[in-house]
Every structure is written in structure tokens, then in C-alpha cells.
Chains A and B, each alone.
Chain A
């Protein structure tokens, strides 16, 4: 690209944001692509100069977000997801096969510069694992044979088709549409099925009445915390002169979770209508969809859909910017996401102040999950009362459950809140082998033993009562072939890899637990290491700056405490 074109592109990216520095991730992503998949020193200097910030800040960002390559990689960067769901689906065998076939170890590049092999932490393709991301493209449901075909194809410059098949069941029919239809993403398809009627209705309503309706629907935030969304909306200060920002949190990155992409990838207009209605209710003239950077093609789908909605006149009141993250789990935390959108490392902020009062650029901000916002059209169309016909008291509405791990038919299941776990697992073809345990809300929640999971009902309150959490609804089934110490090691590897590194208990705690678990799994551990891990978990919970500490301390503690004999059997006596 010519220098003038390059400059123009950078200026175009900067122009999307109220503040220049917010464009730092898009500018680095653009420059990396321009420089052949590597962020060179010159590119970093160029970004710093164009964005008026220091080189150290840009380099700090380039090394914080994993999608930036500050060291050269091969033409095809093979990234195999070996996190818990990938591990359960056999990702390690794929890694070993590639390593053997190409004669390279993890992190190495072939001599011809064609391939680099890396293992990565969670690509959000849990039911379709093993998954290999090649540069920015996904290859799901991989087998050894398909991996061979992929490598042979790439050598010749051919990209095979991605196989995204998995079980899809929608009992509610609200969030998951008929993806077998080729035009399922198109505005015409969406409108044919009643799309944008809620928006038309909302336009005739006062913003405060929409907020009241959402509050009355008692919808609890689907990102994992389960905080009532309407209440969150009502925290916005009244009669404040500052602009209000709406951020749609599409940074789904918790292992076991792959629900938001189902909406965005196949039913994008539902989310856009949800944002259009919510922005009207919150009087937000600017909204951002913060989508994890790995989902590049889904971001493209969203941009196409936004273009269609804009042309159809649905977005006169709000400008929606699709902002691609760059590889960071912690940016799913609302304050880290705001920091990231402001063009910084994704370090969570100290609360208070809360985003409703001081969020993006110090302005009132609402951050809602994709699934939450996608429920808004249904609430407005059918009223709070209609919404509350679905689900159980205090846990209303539909919920997308993702099932991965040891079931016969992993996939995605839209059922009412309060559906028994057994019903979902049956829909997923039942457990493959004998169940040892189940993680029901994404990797951050305590594992339940098969016995504890008996009779479990999937809603926020029932899961809390059972000593775990519904979280994101990412269900990971583990059968009795799995070593729990190995599972615990994979768990902490993820969190140590993702820790923002800001506070000591998370930064050093995750590293220490990982080191001790690695010793135990390798047979080098001592029996006191088990107690050390438990003591660290106990003290880390509640001590970290953001919930990430709890997110690894709680599940690791549960794995060690509930399956202690397995750990004892591995340590030296």
C-alpha cells in the first residue's frame, strides 16, 4: 500500500472514535496485516507517532494483547486451542501430529518460513473442538486426517472450507434462528420473521418507559454475573450533560462459552435491533460492540448488518462501531473493556467509580452482554409480562447453553432458565462414558461431582445453592478418563496466561499455582504443595483487584478439594 493510502486508512480508523488513542488496537491490527503478520519496530514507532503516544505505551499494548506478533511468524500461523474444552476434545493429539509432521516444536517456525506452530488459550469454539486458527481463520471439528488436508492445502496456497457443524437446538426460538437458511444473516430474512418491529414500537415509547419495561422484566445479565440489566440501566445519572455510551460486551472468552457468537454469526440483526432499542432507551448516540479479535469474520458480519440497518433507516439515532479486541480474556471485564476501548492495556479499574457514573472517557456508560441486549427486542415486543412467562421466578427468559467436553453431541441449546441440567445433557446426546464432574457456568465456576450435579436445575439461584454458579452457561462435561490434576493445570494455565498482571495475588498467585500444579502432574510435587495451593486459593479469593482472582481460585480450589485423592496419588510421599 502506498504511504498516502496507508496514512488515509489510519486516519479513517482514528476518525471512528471520539478520542484518538481509542484507535490504537485497530491501527496496530492494520499495520500488522500490512507488514506481513508481524508488528515491526517501525510499525510500532509509526503507530506511536500517528496516535501521539509514547513508544513504550504502544509496545506495552502490543505485548499485552496476544494477537499481536512482535516476533516474526511463518506465513501460516497454526494456533491450536489446548485449553480445557480443546483438551477434552483431543487437541493435544493434533498439536503432536503437526509437530511431528512439520518437524517443529511449539513456538517454532519451519525452515521454509511457511508454518509456525503455537498453542493458544481458548478460541471460543468449545463444541467444535479441536480447533486450529490459521492466521485469522478458524478450522473447527479437526481430526488428524483433516489436519493433514489443511497442511497440504496451505502448502499449495489453498484454504479448505471450515466445518462448523454441531448440534443446535432452540426450544425458545428467540435468540437462535434457523441457521440452515443461507440468507439467515440478511435484513430481509430478519424482517420476514418479525424483525425490527420492536424497534418501531420502541420509537413510539418514551426512553424511561423502555428502561422501566426492561427493569420490570427482571432480566439478569447474561455475561456471567447475573446482575439485573434494568437496574444497571437505572444507575445512569439523570439530567447529566455528558454523553452516554453503550458498550455491547462481545468479548466472550471464558473457556466453555461460545454462545454470543451464535447470535452474532447467524442472527446479527437481533443484536443490532437490541442495541438500537437500548441506545434509544439510554439516550446513547454512540455504541460500541467490543468483539474479541479472534472473531474477525463475525465482526465483518456485524459490520455488514449494521450497514444494512443504517440504509434501512434504523440507526439514525445511534452510531454503532464494531471494535475488535486483540486477544485478552480480562477485557471481558467491563472496566477492563472500557480501558481497552480507550486504547490502553486491558487492566480492570478500581471500583468505585462504577461505569454508570464514570465509564468510557469518564462519561456515563452501560456495558451489557450480547445475549442480554438480544433479549431486549423480545421484552419490548411482548412486554415484561411476556418475557417473564419464560423461565422461573427471579431467573426469567431464555438462555443459551453451550455444551462441550464429553457428550455425544456437543452444541448449542436455547432453553428457558430453570431447565434441568439432565434435559440439556440429554439434548446433547448424553454423556460420553461415565461422568466424573461437570462445570456448568464456564471455567471460572467450581466443578460439581457427578453426584452433586444430580437433579441440578440451571438458573442463577439454583446453581448458587448447589455451590457453583450459572455464569455464562458454558457447560463442560468431564468423564472418568480425565485426570483432575491435569484439568486443574489446564485451568490455571489459562488464567495465568490471561491475568492482566496488574495486582500481586493474581499475577504471582496464578503463576505459583501453575508452577505447583505442573510439579504435581509431572510427579515432582510434594504433599505440602497441595495444602499450599488450597491456602493460596483461599486467600486469593476476594483479594484481587477484579474478579479474575476468584475466577481461578474458586475452580482450582474445588478441583483440589473435591478430588484430593487424585492429587495425593501423584505427589511424592
Chain B
């Protein structure tokens, strides 16, 4: 049943079980937020998504307050803005939030908030923290840009359940740790990159993406991951004709944005000089390039010869896990109906 709520003087209709932030977003009203993510839900930690609600004392975090019939909400009062500006200034006052050199320029939630609030640079600087962890095979952890929102931790523990990341230490020294505060490359991290996808700023970056492209230079092409039969949906970020980055497609089945290390980072094989572009036929110790017709004729001829000499059960087929369902189906059909054997299996099963 739909209900009504008023935000900034606009009467809006909403469905049951929505938060104020969700209703506002659905209606194009921007409330800056940093620690909230659709997949991990409200955390109420950044305190930047605050609003005023009639009848409720003090500022409320819109990510955690449920929308209720007849609520009157203001997202744009001076009290709200002053609080939001303070929070963003506090975050910017520490570390190295330099958009000029940041890979996240143009797709950064902290940058969006600062721009929206009219903050050019923080009015005070407290400390420079110099911690970069480049030990990970595919992921750079840049603590100078980290805002300790905890989204990466939630992603690691609750979404992909790898349980590598957590918060360590406390107070102003709170930081994200891997295992026993080990460098990522020496930890139990499998580099699935869920943390990178959850990060609202440039604190977790794909190594391969560094210095390659800015957000506005790329277009997104949705596709299905070619690695295995799960069929994960992914977005290729393409600059010119080059894939520069891969992310999981949020909100799409079956993977809901999650990817494994291969799907997320193993895309550059397509540009390898060693990649085969024609069939090769072995002659003695060497291979020679051949046409598809020649190669297929050769294989078909050999199959026929084996069947004639030893019967169809002398042949077995193993289908590749990277094949799609339809190809695997055709493969078993070929073996059962054409070759005449039940010797058919799949590499993910054997």
C-alpha cells in the first residue's frame, strides 16, 4: 500500500519498508551519504545523511529512519548543512584527498558530497597519514583516502563471506585491517575485489586501472563473464576500444555485483600477443597455422578412423567449464547422437 510523505515541501508517494534516504533518492532528492550502500544497508556511521524530521528531536540519519505516513522531512536546513559540512570537512582534513590525481575523480561519493556542500578545501588540516599498501596482486589500498565507512568490511564479511577485512584499533587510529593487520598481499585475501566495488572513495583501487582512465572517459558495456558456467553479469568499462576496468553488475542475477578474482581482474588476456588467432596443426615438433576447414576435417577424419578401428567408446569428451549451457548441451548431443558414446563429462565436475 502506498503512503505519503513530504520532503522539502514535495509530497511524495512511497512503498512500505523504505527509509527516508531511499524515498528521497527514488524521487531525485540528493542527500549526501557515505557509509550507506544498498547491499549492506544502513550503518549510521558517517552522519552525513542527516535530515530534520518534524516531531523528532535533533538531526536524524535518513539511512536508518523508516519513512512513515505523514512525515514531514527537511533535507536542506542550515542546521543540516552545517552538520554535513562539518562531517565532510573532518574527513577532508586528514589524509590525501587530492581529486586531481585520484582514479575515483568523477565517481567519488565524498567528492559529490563536498561539491554539493560547496566545499573547495577543508578550512583546517590535522595530519597527513602515509600508508599505502601495494602488496596486493590486483588491489591498491590507500589509507590516505580511506574514510573508515566500513563498506568494504561489510562486503568482505557479510556479502562474499571471505572474512579477511575488519576494523582494527580505535578512536582516530581506527583503520581497516587484513587478518592481523597484515599487508593485503600476505593475508588470506583472495583478491575478489568486492571491497573495491563497495568503496565510495579512492581508497581501494584496481592496480591495472591506475593512470589509465578517468570515469568520464569510459563507457560501460554489460556482458556475461566468460570464465565459468555461473554466468556472472559484469560491466566492462571501455576506453576507446580497450577494456580498462571490470565491475560486477549491481542488482543483476545471479551475482548481484559480486565477482571472483578471474572475472574482475583477468580480462586482459584478450590483448595478449600469445593469444591464438587461428587453429594450429602439429607437424613433428612444431605447429603450423591452418584454416578452420582444414582443422575440422582433420579432427573429423581422425574421429571416424578411431570409431572404425576401436568403436565409439574409444572416444571421450570433456566439455569446458567456460562454455555456456547451450554449448555444453550441443557437446553432449554430438557425443551421444553423432559419435555414439556416453563418454561425456564436464571439467567442473571431474
Contacts and interface: CB of A to CB of B under 8 A. Distances in A.
Given A54-B157, A543-B47, A512 B178 contact: no
Contacts of A507: 148, 171-172, 174
A131 to B, nearest CB: 23
Nearest to A345: B167
Nearest to B123: A532
Interface residues of A, number: 41
B163 A54 contact: yes
Contact of A55 (B48, B123, B147, B180): B180
Interface string B17-43: 000000000000000000000000010
Nearest to A536: B86
A505 B89 CA distance: 10
> Chain B's interface: helix, strand, loop or mixed, by majority?
loop
Contacts of B188: 55
A509 B168 CA distance: 19
Given A501-B174, A509-B90, A543-B83, 6 more contacts: A54-B179, A56-B178, A501-B173, A504-B91, A512-B126, A540-B86
Given A56-B166, A345-B170, A499-B170, A508 B94 contact: yes
A401 interface: no
B172 A501 contact: yes
Contact of B163 (A57, A63, A505): A57
Nearest to B180: A59
Contacts of B124: 512, 516, 532
Contacts of B332: none
Interface residues of B, number: 44
5 contacts: A501-B171, A501-B173, A504-B147, A539-B83, A543-B59
Interface in B53-69: 58-59, 61, 64
B210 interface: no
B44 A350 contact: yes
A511 B129 CA distance: 13
Contacts of B181: 59, 63
B164 interface: yes
Nearest to B189: A56
A536 B86 CA distance: 7
Contact of B167 (A60, A498, A504, A532): A60
A328 B171 CA distance: 11
B346 to A, nearest CB: 33
B46 interface: yes
A35 to B, nearest CB: 15
A423 B308 CA distance: 113
B46 to A, nearest CB: 5
A370 interface: no
Given A54-B163, A501-B167, A545 B126 contact: no
Task: Specify which of A507, A511, A535, A543 lies most central, judged by the most chain B CB atoms within 10 Å of its CB.
Answer: A543
A496 to B, nearest CB: 5
A63 B169 contact: yes
Interface string A461-496: 000000000000000000000000000000000001
Given A510-B171, A512-B124, A532-B124, A545 B90 contact: no
Interface in A505-545: 505, 507-512, 515-516, 532, 535-536, 539-540, 542-545
A505 B47 CA distance: 7
Nearest to A41: B180
Nearest to B50: A543
Given A350-B42, A504-B87, A57 B170 contact: no
A501 B148 contact: yes
A545 B170 contact: no
B72 to A, nearest CB: 19
Nearest to A511: B172
B170 A503 contact: no
Given A54-B163, A511-B171, A505 B90 contact: yes
Given A350-B64, A503-B45, A496 B83 contact: no
A56 B179 contact: yes
A56 B94 contact: no
Contacts of B47: 503-505, 543-545
A502 interface: yes
B285 interface: no
A497 B164 contact: no
B170 A512 contact: no
A510 B173 CA distance: 11
B177 interface: yes
A545 B48 CA distance: 12
A214 to B, nearest CB: 27
A512 B94 CA distance: 9
Max chain A Cβ within 10 angstroms of own Cβ: one of B48, B167, B171, B179: B171
A56 B45 contact: no
B127 interface: yes
Given A41-B180, A59-B179, A497-B171, A508 B42 contact: no
A502 B165 CA distance: 15
Contacts of B177: 56, 59-60, 63
B82 interface: yes
B3 to A, nearest CB: 20
Contacts of B58: 542
Given A59-B181, A543-B47, A54 B171 contact: no
Given A508-B94, A545-B44, A56 B171 contact: no
B343 interface: no
B80 to A, nearest CB: 10
Residue with the greatest number of chain B CB neighbours at <10 A, chosen from A56, A505, A542: A56
A504 B172 contact: no
A509 B91 CA distance: 10
A281 to B, nearest CB: 31
Contacts of A41: 180
B93 interface: yes
A498 B171 contact: yes
B82 A539 contact: yes
A112 to B, nearest CB: 28
A499 B124 CA distance: 21
Contacts of B165: 56
A511 B87 contact: no
A305 interface: no
Nearest to A516: B124
A64 interface: yes
A500 interface: yes
A44 interface: yes
Contacts of B171: 496-501, 507, 510-511
The 9 closest A-B pairs by CB, nearest first: A501-B174, A511-B172, A54-B163, A56-B166, A508-B90, A499-B171, A60-B166, A542-B58, A539-B86
